Amino acid sequence: MKKALVFLLLVSVYSCKYFEAEKIASEDILNEELKTFNWNTVDAYPAFASCESLTVKEDRKECFENTLASHIANTFLEQRFVVTQNINDTVVLGFTISEKGVLSLNDIKVDSLTTLEIPSLKKVLQESLETLPEIYPAIKRDQPVKTTFTLPLILSVNE
């Protein structure tokens, strides 16, 4: 009887380990979730008010890019550039749109001939961006996120 009692006591002491609940830290859950998170895509692209009603992701992206490009093009058309040589160049603009919808120009890749012929190019670009309508930021998992993108603009000026 004593042996059975000692045996039951030992079994109960060692079996308690099997009934412990494993605690999972919230940091572990977050780290696991971040591993499956694709940082290179967004659920909804940035948009202007005119593009906000579009539900298809690619249509919304195209509307945003076209609206931005046409706004910049209209600003350029209002300017009178005097050049000594014909210019056919692709200007590549690098942008960032913050979580609050603030657009900032990060980079302008332009040919040296274009810069020489149109020294006010960067100033005109900056001024055109300051007059843009309100931008709604990109959305990822129902949260506004910062996005970066490039926009090529074809610049053609004849003397």
Return d(Cα 52, Cα 135) in angstroms, integer. Answer: 10
pTM: 0.71
Return d(Cα 18, Cα 113) in angstroms, integer. Answer: 76
Q: Is the pLDDT of residue 97 over 70?
A: yes
What is the Cβ-side half-sphere exposure of residue 131, based on CA atoms within 13 angstroms?
12
At 82 the pLDDT is 80
Q: Which of 102, 95, 113 is nearest to 151 (CA)?
A: 95
Phi then psi dihedrals of residue 13, to 5 deg: -65, -45
At 137 the pLDDT is 93
DSSP lists the bridge partners of residue 150 as 94
Structure tokens at 83: 């050049």
At 10 the pLDDT is 62
pLDDT-based confidence at 21, cuts 50/70/90? low
Structure tokens at 22: 């494993």
Q: Is the pLDDT of residue 38 over 70?
A: no
Q: Is the pLDDT of residue 39 over 70?
A: no
Strands (E), 58-120: 87-97, 103-109
- The position carrying tokens 């603030």 is 102
Span 43-63, pLDDT tens digits: 888 999 998 888 888 899 899
Mean pLDDT of the chain: 82
Span 76-85, pLDDT tens digits: 888 887 888 8
DSSP structure class, residue 44: B
At 37 the pLDDT is 64
Return d(Cα 53, Cα 129) in angstroms, integer. Answer: 23
Span 115-144, pLDDT tens digits: 888 888 889 888 898 899 999 999 888 889
Share of residues in the chain with pLDDT > 90 (%): 25
Return d(Cα 32, Cα 127) in angstroms, integer. Answer: 45
Cβ atoms within 10 A of the Cβ of 106, count? Answer: 11
At 14 the pLDDT is 62
pLDDT-based confidence at 96, cuts 50/70/90? very high
